[in-house]
Structure 1
Amino acid sequence: MTGTSRSGTGSQTALRGRNTAAIVRALTVTGPQLQADLSRVTGLSRATVSNIVALEVEAGRLRAERVLRDGRWGLLVSRAPEDWVVAGIDIGRSHLRVVARDAAARTVGDREIALDPGHLPDVTLARASELLDEVVAQAGLSRSRVRKVGIALPASVGPDGAVVQQSVLREWSGMNVAERAAGVLGIETVVDNDANLGAFAHAAGRGGRGTLVYLKVASGIGAGIVVGDRLYRSTTGLVGEIGHVQVVDGGQTCYCGSRGCLETLASVRTVVADFERVHGRAATLDDVLAAIAADDPVALRIVTEAGDALGRVLAVMCNILSPDVVVVGGPLTPVGAPLLDAIVASVRKRALPAAISRTEFAVSDSEPRAEVSGACLLALQALDAEDLSVPTS
C-alpha cells in the first residue's frame, strides 16, 4: 500500500514537472501569452495551465497580468526577469554580433563589429569574449551572471557542437565549436546552424504555430525548419542544406565539389560577382542594393534570376512539407518585392497547388538580428532543460 502511494505521488510530481516545463518552454520561445492561449500552444487542459500558472506566479517564476484583448479580459502570462542573463553570439563570414537577454527574453545589451573574411576561430572567439564583457556591463551585470551562451554559425553542426559540413567559414571546419567556445568564454555553450536559429526566432514571433521554413540567402544558402515550437534536427546535424542542391547540369563548380549548386546561382557572392562582371568594376552588396533602388535593369535582372533559382529548390521543399509560412532572410532582404515576387512566381510554377494553397510567403522583418535572437532562445531553452529537468518515471 505504501509503495503504491509513493509511486503515484512520484508519477504526479513528474507529470507536473513535465507540464511546467512545457509552459515555461512555450513562454521562452513565444514570449508572453494569454493563459487561454497557453492551453492551445502546449496541448494542456485549461485547468492544468491555470493551476501551474498560479503555483509558478506564487513562487515568483512567472508573472500574470490582467489585460484587455479584443474586448475581453484575459490573463497575460510571462516569465519573471531574474538577476541573470543568457547571451547570443552570431558569427558570420564578415560580422560578429553579441546580444544579452534576461529570463523574460528582453534584450539588455547589444554589440556588433565587422570581421575580416577568413577570420580564425581563436581570434574571433577571443573578440566575442571581449564583446560579451561589454554587453553584460551595458546591462549592469558581471560575466558571472551569464548562465548560458548560444552561438549561431553558418555551418552544419552536429549534436555535440562540432562542425560537420564545410561552410563559408572554412577555417572552422571539423572544429567542436561548443567545446572551444566554452573554453574561451568560461561559460557553457550551445551551437547551431544560423538558418536553424533564424527559423527559431521567426517561429517564436508567430507563437509557435504550424510549420515554418526560413530561407537564408547570404554568402551561403540554407534553410531552417520549425514545426510548432520545435526545430527540426537530424542525428547528423545536416538539415536544410539546400544551397548544395544541384539546379543545373555542368554549371559552375561549388566549394562542396559539385557543379551547378544553388549557391553558384543565387548566393550573395554570386549576385555581387554577376553585377561586377556586367559593370566591369569592383562592387559590393551595397552597390547592388543601391542599383536596385534606382531601378537599374541589370541589377533587377540578376536578382530576379537568383529568385527564380531559389524558387526551383524551394518548390521541392514545399511539396514535401506544405509549410504554413516561408520567410526569406539574409542580406538580400532590403531588395524586398523584386526578390520575393521572383521566388514566389517560381514556386507557384513548380509546386503542387494544393501543397502551397495555404502557404504565406514573406520577407523577414527581423534582419540582421534574426540569427542572434535565435541563439539567445537556444541558450534559454537549454537552460530551461537543465533547470526544469524531471524524472522520467
Structure 2
Amino acid sequence: MPPTGSPSALRSANLERVVGVLRSAAEVSQAEIARRTDLAPATVSNIVRQLVSTGLVETSGGGGRRGLTVRIARGAGLVAGLDFGHSHLEVAVGDLAGRALVGTRRPLDNDHSHTEGLALAEALLDDLLEELGESREAVHAAGLGLPAPITRDGRITAGSILPGWVGVAAADVASKALGMPTLVDNDANLGALAEHRDHPDVTTLAYLKVSSGIGCGLVLDGHLYRGGLGTAGELGHVTLDETGPLCRCGSRGCLEAYAGGSGLVEQLRGRMPDLAVHDLVDIAVSGDAGARRLLEDAGRALGQGSAILANLLSPEAIVVGGDLACDIVVDGIRDGLRRHAVDGLGGEIEVRLSTLGDQASVVGALVTALDAVALPG
C-alpha cells in the first residue's frame, strides 16, 4: 500500500470511493457519483476515464461528461459465491458489481468432508459458467460462507454443524481447489453484508439467520463487525436458562436449544418422521397446530435474545432470514423486544423479514468476493 497521505494513497482512496458507488447501483451518472463521494466532478471524470480504459466500467448517453451514465462492464469479469448450509450447497456467479447472474442449489449431507464439499462446488461452478458461456479464467475471486464461527486465522473450531470442516484453513483449501482467491466468512455475517448492501441507509443492523441453528451477523456504523477474535455474533449460544435443555455446543439453555430448527423438528419427528427444517414453516402456515406452536415459542425465545442485542447495540433494524423466517417468528421477536428491551427501545427497532430470502448468504458471498478483486491503477 502507498504511504498514508501520499498522492498515490489519495488516488487509491478516491478510486475505491468511486468503485464503491458503482457497485451499489446498476448505473449512475457522473454527477451523482460526484455527489455521493464528495469528489470534484473533474476528479470523477478522470477516474471514470481511467476505469473505462481498463475495461472495468462502460459509459453511455448523457450530454457532456457529467451527464454520462456509468456502470460496471459485464465484460470486466465475474465473481463466485458459495454458501454451505447445514444440508445444502448454493453456488452463484455474479458480475463485478456483486449482482447474481446465475445460481443453483443442491442438497448436501452435513457430515460431508470439506474435500467432498469443494469438489461439488467446483462442479456446480463449472456448470454455471458453461451456462454463461464463460470459463473459470473469467472469475476473479470467490466468497464462501460456512455456518460456524470462524477464527481470525480462518479456521472452524466448532464442528457440530459441519464436522468435516473442523480445523481446516478454509480460505486456503478453497483457494487451492477453486484456483482463485477465496474469502471465507460466517454465513450470517454474509447475510448481514448482503442486507446492508440492499439497504445502505440503515447503518446499524443485526441479521438473524434462523435455520437448523441460530446465527447472527452484525453491521455496526456501516461496517461488518467480526470482533477482536473474529467470532462476534454467536447469539444462538447466549444462555436463556442455565438449567434448560442441552445445546449442541455442550452448554444448557442456549437460545439455539429453544429456537434452532434441528431441535424443533425433533419434537415433531414422532408423527412426521421425514420432516425437514425447511418444511416447518409451510406446515405451520397450512394449519398444523403443533408446528405453529413451536414457531411461536421459537419467536418468543428469539425476542428475548434480540432484546439483549437491542440493549447492547441499539440497532436500527433486526432482519430475519433462514429456513424458519416467517411472520410467526417475526411477531414473536417484536413481542420479546416489547417485553425485554429497555423502555421505548423495542418499538423503535424495525423488525422485518429479509428481502433476499434464502439468497442472502450467497449474495453476501458474491459481495465479499469483490474485496479480493484488485482495482486497476
TM-score by length of 2: 0.89
Where do 5+ consecutive residues of structure 1 fail to align?
1-6, 68-72
Residues 34 and 89 of structure 1, relative CA distance in 2, 3 Å threshold: same
Partner of 1:157: 150
Q: How far off is 1:233 after superposition?
A: 1.8
Q: What letter corresponds to residue 322 of structure 1 in structure 2?
A: S
Q: How far off is 1:87 after superposition?
A: 0.3
Partners of 1:233 and 1:40 in 2: CA distance: 31
Q: How far off is 1:287 after superposition?
A: 4.8
Aligned match of 1:301 in 293, 299, 302?
A: 293
Partner of 1:189: 182
Question: Does the aligned pair in 2 maintain the 1:161–1:190 contact within 8 Å?
Answer: no
Q: What letter corresponds to residue 22 of structure 1 in structure 2?
A: R
Partner of 1:58: 49
Q: How does 1:1-393 map to 2 (within 5 A)?
A: 11-29=6-24, 32=27, 44-45=37-38, 48=39, 50-59=41-50, 60=52, 61-63=56-58, 77-207=70-200, 209-277=202-270, 279=271, 281-285=273-277, 287-333=279-325, 336-383=326-373, 386-387=374-375
Residues 75 and 345 of structure 1, relative CA distance in 2, 3 Å threshold: farther
Partners of 1:81 and 1:268 in 2: CA distance: 39
Partners of 1:182 and 1:337 in 2: CA distance: 39
Deviation larger for 164-173 or 134-143: 164-173
Question: Does the aligned pair in 1 maintain the 2:245–2:257 contact within 8 Å?
Answer: yes
Question: Does the aligned pair in 1 maintain the 2:171–2:183 contact within 8 Å?
Answer: yes
Residues 376 and 281 of structure 1, relative CA distance in 2, 3 Å threshold: closer
Partners of 1:117 and 1:187 in 2: CA distance: 25
Question: Does the aligned pair in 2 maintain the 1:165–1:238 contact within 8 Å?
Answer: no
Question: Does the aligned pair in 2 maintain the 1:38–1:49 contact within 8 Å?
Answer: no
Q: CA RMSD in A?
A: 2.7
Residues 281 and 85 of structure 1, relative CA distance in 2, 3 Å threshold: closer
Question: Does the aligned pair in 2 maintain the 1:214–1:327 contact within 8 Å?
Answer: yes
Residues 325 and 128 of structure 1, relative CA distance in 2, 3 Å threshold: same
Partners of 1:209 and 1:254 in 2: CA distance: 33
Residues 216 and 34 of structure 1, relative CA distance in 2, 3 Å threshold: farther
Q: How far off is 1:310 after superposition?
A: 0.6
Give the secondary structure class of the aligned counterpart of 1:149.
strand
Q: What letter corresponds to residue 290 of structure 1 in structure 2?
A: D
Residues 287 and 255 of structure 1, relative CA distance in 2, 3 Å threshold: closer
Q: How far off is 1:174 after superposition?
A: 1.4
Q: Deviations over 1:50-83 (max 9, x none)?
A: 334322332314456679xxxxx98765333334
Partners of 1:276 and 1:382 in 2: CA distance: 44
Residues 29 and 168 of structure 1, relative CA distance in 2, 3 Å threshold: farther
Q: How far off is 1:303 after superposition?
A: 0.6
Question: Does the aligned pair in 1 maintain the 2:24–2:97 contact within 8 Å?
Answer: no
Q: What letter corresponds to residue 54 of structure 1 in structure 2?
A: S
Partners of 1:362 and 1:225 in 2: CA distance: 15
Question: Does the aligned pair in 2 maintain the 1:20–1:52 contact within 8 Å?
Answer: no
Q: Deviations over 1:144-182 (max 9, x none)?
A: 111101101101123332224435112211110111111
Aligned residues: 368
Partners of 1:275 and 1:49 in 2: CA distance: 62
Question: Does the aligned pair in 2 maintain the 1:30–1:205 contact within 8 Å?
Answer: no
Partners of 2:232 and 2:305 in 1: CA distance: 14
Residues 62 and 306 of structure 1, relative CA distance in 2, 3 Å threshold: same
Deviation larger for 360-369 or 16-25: 16-25
Q: How far off is 1:368 after superposition?
A: 1.3
Partners of 2:22 and 2:250 in 1: CA distance: 43
Residues 30 and 170 of structure 1, relative CA distance in 2, 3 Å threshold: farther
Partners of 1:331 and 1:280 in 2: CA distance: 18
Where do 5+ consecutive residues of structure 2 fail to align?
none
TM-score by length of 1: 0.85
Question: Does the aligned pair in 1 maintain the 2:182–2:372 contact within 8 Å?
Answer: no
